[in-house]
Structure 1
Amino acid sequence: MVSKKLLIIEDDPDTAALLAGMVCRIGWEAADIIQCSTLAEVFRLEQAISLVITDLTLPDSPADETFGKVQFCFPFSPIIVLTGNSEKALTMRTMQQGAQDYLIKGDIDQQVLQKSLLYAVERKQRLNDYRRLFDDNPVPMYIFDQENYRMLAANHAALRQYGYTTQEFLKLTAFDIRPSAEFQILQRSVKDQHGKQGYLDGGRTRHLKKDGTVFYVHIHVDNTRYEGRDVLMVVAYDIDSQVRTEEALAGKVREVEDILESITDAFFTLNRDGVFTYVNSEAVRILRLSKEELLHNSIWELFPAEDANYFFKKYNEAMRSGISTSFEAYYQPLEAWFSVNAYPTQEEGLAVYFLDVTEKRQEQQALYATEQNLRAIINNTSDIIWSMDRDLNIISANEAFWDYLKHMVGTTQGLTKEHFKQTIYEAWEAHLMKALEGKAFKFIWEEDRGTETYYAEVSLNPIFGKDRVSGVSCFSRDITEERKLQQRIARDERNLRALIDNSQDMIWSVDSNLCLVTANEVYKSAIFSITSHYPEEGGSILIPEYSDELTRQWKQHYETALAGTPYTHQETVGSGENARYMQTYLYPITDGEGHVVGVSCNSRDVTVLKKHIDQIEQQNEVLREIAWIQSHKIRNHVATILGLAEILETDASDQTDNQIIIEGVKSAAGSLDQIIREVNELTKKFGKG
C-alpha cells in the first residue's frame, strides 16, 4: 500500500518544525512528511502529494503568486495556506482561487490543525468528485479565464479532441486553439458573454489541434466562476465532418453563384415571360430592390414601360430574334446611364449583363472639357509639347510642335510618322532612347539657323505603363533670347572684370555679413602681402592679422556704409620717406527694393597727390612771405623817399631845377608805391587760391 505524503512549504525552520511535530502527533508518520523552503525545491519533487500546507511568502515567489504556482503543481490535492493577521485580503483571494482552508500563524494548535486537515481533505474530495463528472464527460469541455484567456481546466474528451496532455493544455490560452483569423471573434464573444447567465449558443467556429489541423466546432458557453475567477466554460462539439459534407454538397451551386457574384457587372436572368429567375448582388444594388422583391416577379411590372421603353424594346428584339444586343441608355427613375449586353438563352429567356456607367459618362464629359481647356492652354504657348509611344507614333502634340516639324521638314503638307523619324527622332535619338529606358532628364538643344543659333531646353519624361515604359512626354522651351542675354551678361562681366583688374586701385565688395563678395587682383595681392594667403570669396573681410583697434575701426566703417551712409576714410600707411597715403570710399549697395545688401569699396594710393598739395602749400607760404616783404620793407624805403622829397620841396622851393627833380622823385615814388600795392593784392589772391 502506498503511503500518503504531506508537504509543508515554509521558509521559517521553527514554524516548519512546529507544524511537522503537530502533524506527527495527529497520526502522520515522520517519514511521510516532506518539508520545502522554496518553490524551486517543490518543483523538483517526484513523489505524489496527498495534502499541502504552504506559506504564501517565500524567498523565490511573491505572496500573490505562490498559491497559483502550488495549485498548478498539485491540482488534485487539498491545499491549506499559512497567513498572518495582516494578510486578510490576500487570504480571501486565495480561498476564492481554490484553497481548502487557511491557518493564521501564531494561532495554530494541534486541535485547530487536525480539524483543518480533516475539513480540507473532505472539501477537496467533494470537489474532486465534481471534477470527475467534468473530466469523464464524453463531450469535450474546457474552462478559461475571461481576463487573461489562460486555460484553467480541460476534460479528457477535450484533451483527446485537441491532442494535448493536461500539462500542455494548461499552459495554453484560448487563442492557442484557434486560427489567428478567429481571434477577433473570440474577443468579441467573450465581451458579449460577460455577465450573462446560463448556456449560450456560441455558434459555429474553427479551432486548431496540436498538430496544426483546423476543424469546425459548434460551441456552447457558460459564464461562471472557478477558483475565484470569472471564467467561461466551453462545450465544443466537433462538427468538422458535417461541415465538410455540407460544403461538398453546396460546392457546385456555390461555384456558379460565386462566379456571378464575383463579376463586377450586374447580372440577371429572365424567363420567356420576363420574370426574374436570378439576380446577383450588384444588380440588387444598382436596381435598388432586394432579391426578394425581384425574384419571381416580372421585369415589365417592376419597371414601367414608359420609363424603360428603350430597354424593353431591345430586350424583346433579342428574345424574338435570338441575337445578342449591346447598347447604352439613360434610365430616368434611377438617374443613371447603363451599358447593357443582353444574350438570348436556350429557354427563350435572356441573360443580361449591365454596368452603371454614369460616373464614366460624367468623367468623359469632364475629361473632354478639361482636355479642351488644356489643349487651348497648350496651343496658346510657344513652347513645343508632345508625346510619343514606343513605336514612335505621336500620341498628342500642340500646334507649336507641328509648326516646328514643318520647319524641320520644309513643307506644310502631309506630315507623317516618317517625317518625324527623319527629323526630330534622328536628331534626338540617343536622348529619346534614354527616356524610353525609364530615365527623366533635361538637355540643351542647339540648332544652326544660318544667321543665328537656336537654343532650346528640352525635358523628356518616361510614361509608365503596367510593367514597362510605354512612351515619352516631351517639353521644349525656346531659350535663344535667354542664352543671348546670358552671353551678353558674361561678356559684360568679363569686360567689367578686366576693367577692375586693370585698375591700380583696390576694389572689393562685401555683403551684409561682412563676407567678401568679389575683389580685383590689386586687392587680393595687397591682402596676400599682409596675410601670406589670398582672400576667398565668402570668407570674412576682417583680417585676423590686423590689430584689435584697426579691426574695430574697419568694422565701424563697414557698418556706417551698411546703415546707408556713403563713407570716406583716409589713413597713413608707414612713416618717414616710405609713408603712403590711402583714401578709401565705401558706398552702400542696395537691392531692387532699396534695402542695403552690401558695401562697394574703392581704395586708392594718393601719396603723389598729397605730396603735390604739400609742395603747393609750401610755395604759397613763400609767396606770402614775399608779399609781406613787399608790403612792409619796400614801402618803408618808399616812405623815406617821399619824406626826403618833401624836405627838398620845403628847403628849395625857389630853385627851379631842384623843383623839377623833386617832382620826378615824387612821381617815381608814387608809381613804385602803386606797383607794390598791386603786387601785394595779387599775392594775397594767389595765397588764397
Structure 2
Amino acid sequence: MLLELILDNLPEAVWVQEILSGKVLMANQAVAKLYQLDSEVIKTDGDFWQNNILNSYGDFVRHKLSQLSQKSSCECVYPSLLPDGSTQWLWHQIQQIHYQGQTLRIHSAHKSLESEEALAQLQKFKEELLHRDDQLRDNAQLLQKHLKSLHQANKLLQQREAYLHSLIHSQSNSLIRINLEGNYTFANQHFYNHFGYHPEDLLKLSLSDMVVAEDAPKCRQVIEVCLMNIGKVVRIILRQEHPITQELIQTEWEFVSICDETGSPVEIQGVGRDVTLRLKQEEEIQRLKQNLQALIDNTDDFIWAVDYQLCYTAFNKSYEDILMRLDNTVPVLGASALKVNNPSVEVDFWQARYQLALEGQSLTYINEIPMADGSSQHLEMRFYPIYNAQQQIIGVSCFGRDITPIKNLQLALEQKAQEVISIFESITDGFFAVDKQWKITYVNKNFELLLQRQRQNLIGKNLWDEFADAISLKFYSEYQRAMSEQVSVQFEEYYPTTNTWFGVSAYPSTEGLTVYFRDISASKAYQQSLLEINERLREIAWIQAHEVRRPLASIIGLVRLLRQEPIESGFFRQLMDSLHQSAQALDEIIHQIVTKAEALEDWNQMGTSSHN
C-alpha cells in the first residue's frame, strides 16, 4: 500500500515486469499517461510490452536487453509510437533483479524530446529501420542523436532526483535510514521537525538511543528480523520523549532492509507516523467499552446479540443466568443460539423472531417461558436489527427482563379491581365515575336501571354530551363545583327525563369524580303527604280555636252577666252554675284538641326529617 502510494507520486513512469511471461506486475499512474493507455489495461494486458515497445523498435531495445544480466541495469533513448499515431522520444532505464525465485525487470521511463526536430528525426529513424543499408550509413549520425538524447535524459534524471529529494523531505511521515549497527544515516525534514533534532546531532545517535529504555530491546530485535527476512516489512510501535517538550511520542514504524546489487543488506529504511493521538483515542474507546460492558454486566436485564447465522456475538451475565435457568446451558461466543436442551423451549419461536429482526423489524414480545426446573416466568423480550456503516443488517441485538413480579402484581390488581367492581355492582345506589375531561370511565348496573341507559353506549363518552338535559339542573353546577374546588357535595334534584327525584353524593379525586345517587321519589311523596296532613290539621285547629271558641266565649260572657244580677230563685242560680260549668268544660275540651293537633304537626315534621 505504501509502495504503491510512493510510486503513484513519482513523475516518471515506473512498472515491474516478469521476464518469463512478460506480464506487468505493478505500474504507477504515469505509465498510463505516458503510453496513453488505461491503467487497468496495462496490468491485465499481457501484450502491453510487445505492442507498445518491441513491435516499434524491437531490435534496438532487444539489443539493449541482451546486455542485461541478473542484478544489472541498462538505459536507452528511443522513439515510441502512440495509439493516436503520434511519436514521442523516451528515456528508458531497465534494472533486472532476482526476487523470491523470479527474475523481474523494473522499468523507468519519461519523455525525452518533444520538438518538431525530434519528430523529424523519429521519421528518419523509422526509415532507417526499414532500410537496413541506409541505417548502417547513417549510424554515426544516429549515434550522435542518441548521445544528445542521453544527455537530455541525464538532465531529466537529475531533475527527477531533485524532485524525489523534495518529495522525501515534504512527506508528512518520518523517513529514516539506519545502518546494520542501528546508527542513523539519514532522516527527512519531517523527522527533524517532529522530534526536535538537528542533523549533526542525529547522525551521532542510534535508534536505541532515542527511544525509552523499555523499548530499546525492540530496536535490536527489529534489526535482526529485517536482516533475516530480506524485503519483509516489519511493523513496530516505539516510544520516545521529545528532547525539548519531554512529551512522550508514540510512532508506528515500518522497517524494511535495503540491499546492494549482490542482494546483501546494507541499510534498513523506516517510515514512521505519529500514532500518539490515535492510541490515546483507542485507550479512551477501550475504557468506554469496559465501562459499558461493566454497566451491561451489572444490569438485571439480560442482553445478547447474534450474527446473521444466529450465532452468539455478545451476551452479559444476566443472560448467562437466565439461560442456565431456562436450559441448564452456558452460552458460548460463536455457538448457535438455537442449540437448546430443554424440550419445552420452542426453537421455531426464537428462530422466527430472529428472522423478522434480520428483515429489518423491531419486535417486542411478552411470553410465559417454561424453565428447566418446571416453573415458568413471564419475560419481556425485544429484538432489534444491527446495522453496519453501510446500513446493512449484520445481526440482531436482543434485550429481555423478568416481569414475573410485575405480572403477579398486575394479576393481583386485576383481582382487586374485580372485587371493587363486584361491590359497585352489588350496591343499590347508582354509581358512575368520570375523568378530568368528563369522560365516563365506569357505570354500574343500577346506573343503567335508574337512568335507563346502557353502559356500552356510555363508556368513553363525554358526560355532558350524553346527558345534555342535565346541564340546566343542579347536577351540572354541583358536579362542576366538586371538580373545581375539590370538595364533596350532597344535594337533591328532580330529573324530568325519568320523572325521578335523586339524592346525590359526589366525591372528587386526582383522577376525576365519583358519584353515588339513589331514587328518593317515594320519600319525597311521603314527605309531601305529611305536609298536606299538617296543613289540614292546622285548618282544624284554627277552626276549633276561633270558630268554636267564639260562641263559647259569648256563652261564658252571658253567664257571667247573669250571675251578676240578683236572682232570688235558687233554681235559677243553680241553672246558671250548671251552664257556667258546662261552658268551662267545653273550653277545656277545645283547648285539648288544639294542643293535640299542634303536637301531631310537630311529630309529622320529625317523621319527614327522619325519613329523608
Q: TM-score, normalised by structure 1?
A: 0.46
The equivalent residue for 2:91 is: none
- CA deviations over 1:46-89 (Å, ceiling 9, x no partner): xxxxxxxxxxxxxxxxxxxxxxxxxxxxxxxxxxxxxxxxxxxx
Cα pair distance change 1:299/1:555, threshold 3 Å: farther
Note if contact 2:208-2:219 (Cα within 8 Å) is conserved in structure 1: no
Match in the other structure for 1:407:
325
Query: Which of residues 482, 487, 509 in structure 1 aligns to 2:434?
Result: 509
Of structures 1 and 2, the one scoring higher in RCO (CA 8 A, sep 6+) is: 2
Which amino acid in structure 2 is aligned with residue 383 of structure 1? D
Task: Say whether residues 1:436 and 2:341 are aligned partners.
Answer: no
Q: CA deviation at 1:335?
A: 0.9
1:610/1:525 CA distance change after superposition, 3 Å: closer
Q: Give the C-alpha shift of residue 436 in structure 1.
A: 3.0
Question: Is this contact kept in 1: 2:357–2:385, CA < 8 A?
Answer: yes
Q: Distance in 1 between matches of 2:213 and 2:254?
A: 16
Query: What count of residue pairs does the alignment treat as equivalent?
Result: 433
Shift of 1:416: 9.9
CA contact (8 A) 1:627 1:684 kept: no
Matched residue SS, 2:524: helix
User: Which structure 1 residue ranges, 5 or more long, are not aligned?
Assistant: 1-239, 593-597, 654-660
- Once the two structures are TM-superposed, the CA of residue 402 in structure 1 deviates from its matched residue by 1.2
Checking the alignment, whether the CA contact within 8 Å between 1:267 and 1:279 is kept in structure 2 is yes
Q: How has the CA–CA distance of structure 1 residues 505 and 377 changed in structure 2, closer, same or farther, with 3 Å as cutoff?
A: same
Aligned partner of 2:399 in structure 1 is 475
Matched with 1:11 is none
**3-state secondary structure, aligned to 2:356:** helix
Which of 570, 573, 582 is the equivalent residue of 2:496?
Answer: 573
Name the amino acid aligned to 2:510: D
Matched letter for residue 287 of structure 1: F
Q: How does 1:358-373 map to 2 (within 5 A)?
A: 358-373=276-291
Q: What is aligned with 1:323?
A: 228
What is aligned with 1:609?
A: 523
How much has 1:404 moved relative to structure 2?
Answer: 0.5
The counterpart of 1:287, out of the listed 182, 190, 195, is 195
Structure 2 residue matching 1:460: 3-state secondary structure: strand
- Compared CA separation, residues 688 and 313, structure 1 to 2 (3 A): closer
Post-superposition offset of 1:554: 7.4
CA distance in 2, matches of 1:681, 1:552: 37
The correspondence of residues 201-600 of structure 1 with structure 2, limited to 5 A, is 267-272=175-180, 274=182, 286-287=194-195, 298=202, 300-301=204-205, 305=209, 308-309=212-213, 311=215, 313-319=217-223, 322-323=227-228, 327-333=236-242, 334-345=247-258, 346-410=264-328, 417=335, 421-422=339-340, 426=347, 427-448=349-370, 454-465=377-388, 468-489=392-413, 499=424, 505=430, 507=432, 509=434, 511-512=436-437, 516-518=439-441, 520=443, 537=460, 541-542=464-465, 559-564=480-485, 568=491, 570-571=493-494, 573=496, 580-583=499-502, 585=504, 587=506, 589-591=508-510, 598-600=512-514
Of stretches 535-544 and 483-492 in structure 1, the one that deviates more from structure 2 is 535-544
Distance 1:516 1:308, change over 3 A: closer
Query: Residues 516 and 285 (structure 1 numbering): CA distance in 2 closer, same or farther, change over 3 Å?
Result: farther
Equivalent position SS for 2:300: coil
- RMSD after superposition: 6.4
**Which residue number in structure 2 is paired with residue 66 of structure 1?**
none
The alignment partner of 2:400 has SS state of strand
Q: How does 1:660-679 map to 2 (within 5 A)?
A: 679=596
Distance 1:554 1:607, change over 3 A: closer
C-alpha distance in 2 between matches for 1:451 and 1:652: 125
Q: Which SS does the other structure have where 1:349 is aligned?
A: strand
Determine the C-alpha separation between the residues in 2 that align with 1:461 and 1:282: 49
The aligned runs of 1:625-636 (5 Å cut-off) are none
Taking the aligned partners of 2:441 and 2:290, their CA distance within structure 1 comes to: 52
**Do the aligned partners of 2:502 and 2:521 also contact (CA within 8 Å) in 1?**
no
Q: Could you tell me how far apart the structure 1 residues matched to 2:249 and 2:191 are?
A: 14
Report the CA distance between 1:408 and its aligned residue.
Answer: 1.1
Structure 1 position 407, deviation (Å): 0.3
Amino acid at match of 1:330: R
Q: Quote the offset at 1:611 in angstroms.
A: 1.4
Sequence identity percentage:
18
The offset of 1:524, in angstroms, is 8.7
Question: Could you list the per-position Cα deviations for residues 575-606 of structure 1 after superposition, in whole angstroms to 9, with x for gaps in the alignment?
Answer: xxxx82444748474438xxxxx555566554
Paired residue type of 1:509? V
Higher mean displacement: 310-319 or 430-439: 310-319
Matched to 1:323, the amino acid is M
1:330 touches 1:338 (CA, 8 Å); kept in 2? Answer: yes
